[in-house]
Structure 1
């Protein structure tokens, strides 16, 4: 059963690719002979650099074909380069992975940063074809309001009327994200039922129209950005790789409802929890997510059982996770209580941690979530710690060097700790003032200090030793007398505030 489930999408994709191959393609094929003559005259063209064996390229192919057909009607061309047959051409354009998509304007390339589904590609390229702000009249007013998922329209008496300049600046910053327009046509303003100046957001979901109700004449770029971001996501949308960035950029916690998409009650669950999403709008973003497709993400959010529906709140800024107890039923009341507790700071995050090692026999100390504070925040020691992922190639290459660094300071383990932590299996406690976003991440904390110093140098043993010798507070020569207990007391005393004095 599981095997057929996995094969079905691949079979469907193969069929779609086969059909597309039989039909005339609207995607142009580029070679060294026709690349410049095809690309350079175009004011706008999207080029995909692909490899036939690449799985991501195969998944993109039907969407790319569909987008090419749709965009053909708008005189926007899509093209592709086979990097197996045309290796030199791909190397010439700096292609390092597949697929690589680039937007060319009269031969000048920029990276494509949009979605990879047909409608997303169309939306992105239409935005690229337009000025940052499109002039709208009564004749195309209705059409423009529905031209994209998010449309921001300024109604002005003249292009220079406030907040016209701020509106244009906002559009220039976010032309890839939203569609912006302005109109000075009185009939369009009358049609919209507004008096100039006014700013209205139109969208294809939830409440279709949101009016900017603050002091529009004095609206700043920052305020306009906040307005559009606050209303750019649905109350309860499905989250995936295509739209996750929008949620991440919002800065708000993200509440996931994990659902089995084959569950006949799926739509009922979404409808049930949408009012909860409305209750916390502007404070927490709510989404539902495919629990079968993204089961590993559920585990990463500390949902340990494959029981759906399940619910978890994630603080995206601090990477803290607040999973709902999976032994209990997910109800509106329970979810509301959890979210309120998270916002009020009354609920502690759930920290993933491996078991504390029974022994520490190696020269590199193994840190886990449960002993991080005790081990790494020990004021008596300098600490140099590597945060790694078992699958990370750079981490694997660093391991023998890091082990050698541990051996180098094995005789002074009471003064300096060379440590490592598997950041995929252990969460950092909230007390730590940073989050790990790449691997390996190397951090140094001097004895008696709270600050963590980044190591960004060459990962050779010589460079690591030089860095340690420069940053360490404790003496690292084994021949230098050392009393760690006495040093710890002295460090603590240095941080104490004398009686009668206030801290700054």
Structure 2
């Protein structure tokens, strides 16, 4: 299991839910089944409805199913009730195509027939919380009588205490509109209500179900960026255990994430976490801190370039930048070592760790690319470059291999103009210079000569498909005859077209991709 840049632990959640879900079957369902004939009549009249587009064979869909059922039952009890529906895309292919469904499960929030992407969690409590937020206006007017209940609407509730005509209200409203999916926002205009809450307007207060329950914003209320930074910094606990259910909160915070890997019953765990809290407080808003079950998520440790053999250990992940900073040996004073390491990280003194296989002698038609030579090979201005990023265990990568070798042979005589390459993305990190991270296998990208922009290949995975794509996008004259295809590649391609292909995508949210064309 790999934890990719944007979500990681969600893939683990899918596995766990698949195992646990068999005990959660229901004889009846509160989830509405939609077809091409019923879709518009059910969805369009609803002010708010959540629709899942799924495939029965998809493992991530199976993992979601018990949480989706639980959410449907709970949300029907809301006032007004919120409906949840689903569409089987193996049956309703035209309907799913019209909704531009690219992977399974895809969830969309519809408001009177108008869709928007669902960006929330995939566990029941997260789905319920997300949809309850969607049912609220982006900014709720809160009376004195409603205030006590409103402050507990969610784990994080932001309330602005402002007069009705306050010039600050416009800025707060903009922030609420932009972040309504993540937080609940309220506006209290009643001066007596503010007084009863112990607040002197103008003010913004964050109410939380963790750490200090009330945090007052101390910056200018008309500073939109300042308000957003305050929300991001204060919306997560100072130090919390991270798992599948809350990883996206950290992934979407936009700041680096520091992990303390420990055994759940580790001898020094409590003392180390106490010391880490001091460091976390010092760098709040710059780095988020979590602890993680090292035995359960050992593969995540390895993905952060920790050896995964000795605990405790520490690592910082720049999720947005795709960089990793492992600290393998904490010594006798883990708190002191971590504090020093984080200080160097924030000060820009650390060099990111890039995992790489040794540079290999090239003997075949396809260049075997590794991280340590990435820039040298792919940013050779004289050459166009087509790279397959693969995983050895990926079935679709294995099926593509003969075709990829044949493609290399087609261009072998003009290697001075074009490089056909492949890179094992499980044993090599994609360097930051690439500007992207690999989220699924195989990922195929093309870089035209003389530039640094990468193009995604989404066409037919055949010799003809690759040759046509290259001829359209290459800067060099790299024309070849695609018609001569060896028997191995032809057989493989025929097999690929005989039955649907389903890729397991390890990004967040976890998806099963539709069949390549």
* 2:71 paired with 1:63: no
Alignment of 1:159-198 (within 5 A): 160-198=165-203
Alignment of 1:399-478 (within 5 A): 403=405, 406-411=408-413, 413=415, 417-429=419-431, 432=433, 434-438=435-439, 439-446=443-450, 451-456=451-456, 460-465=466-471, 467-468=473-474, 470-471=475-476
Work out the CA distance in 2 between the residues paired with 1:85 and 1:400.
29
- Going from structure 1 to structure 2, the CA distance change for 1:172 and 1:393 (only over 3 Å counts) comes to farther
Partner of 1:231: 234
Q: Which runs of 5+ in 1 are unaligned?
A: 1-5, 478-504
* 2:125 paired with 1:119: yes
Work out the CA distance in 2 between the residues paired with 1:247 and 1:8.
20
Q: CA deviation at 1:405?
A: 5.4
Q: Which runs of 5+ in 2 are unaligned?
A: 1-13, 460-464, 481-517
Partner of 1:110: 116
Alignment of 1:324-343 (within 5 A): 324-326=327-329, 328=331, 331-343=334-346
Partner of 1:295: 298
Partner of 1:280: 283
Deviations 1:411-442 (A, max 9, x none): 45466644433233212456x36233452222
Q: Which stretch shifts more, 304-313 or 238-247?
A: 238-247
Deviations 1:112-162 (A, max 9, x none): 32112222112111111111110001111111111111111111111x412
* 2:83 paired with 1:78: yes
Contact 2:159–2:204, Cα closer than 8 Å, also in 1: yes
Contact 2:272–2:334, Cα closer than 8 Å, also in 1: no
Work out the CA distance in 2 between the residues paired with 1:350 and 1:170.
36
- Going from structure 1 to structure 2, the CA distance change for 1:241 and 1:215 (only over 3 Å counts) comes to same
Q: CA deviation at 1:174?
A: 1.3
Q: CA deviation at 1:183?
A: 1.5
SS in 2 for 1:67: helix
Work out the CA distance in 1 between the residues paired with 2:317 and 2:399.
32
- What's the TM-score, normalizing by structure 1? 0.77
Cα RMSD, aligned residues only:
3.7
* Larger-Rg structure: 1
SS in 2 for 1:372: helix
Partner of 2:350: 347
Partner of 2:371: 369
Work out the CA distance in 2 between the residues paired with 1:98 and 1:464.
29
Partner of 2:137: 131
- Going from structure 1 to structure 2, the CA distance change for 1:52 and 1:366 (only over 3 Å counts) comes to closer
Work out the CA distance in 1 between the residues paired with 2:102 and 2:434.
34
Work out the CA distance in 2 between the residues paired with 1:263 and 1:321.
24
Q: CA deviation at 1:45?
A: 2.7
- Going from structure 1 to structure 2, the CA distance change for 1:420 and 1:81 (only over 3 Å counts) comes to closer
Residues matched between the structures, number? 455
Q: CA deviation at 1:371?
A: 3.2
Work out the CA distance in 1 between the residues paired with 2:235 and 2:258.
16
SS in 2 for 1:64: helix
Work out the CA distance in 1 between the residues paired with 2:215 and 2:333.
32
Contact 2:330–2:337, Cα closer than 8 Å, also in 1: no
Q: CA deviation at 1:467?
A: 3.5
Partner of 1:3: none
Partner of 1:388: 389
SS in 2 for 1:453: coil
Work out the CA distance in 1 between the residues paired with 2:20 and 2:248.
28
Within the candidate set 219, 222, 232, 1:214 is matched to 219
Partner of 2:148: 142
Deviations 1:83-136 (A, max 9, x none): 389647964874565444333333444333211222211211111111111000
Contact 2:43–2:110, Cα closer than 8 Å, also in 1: yes
SS in 1 for 2:47: coil
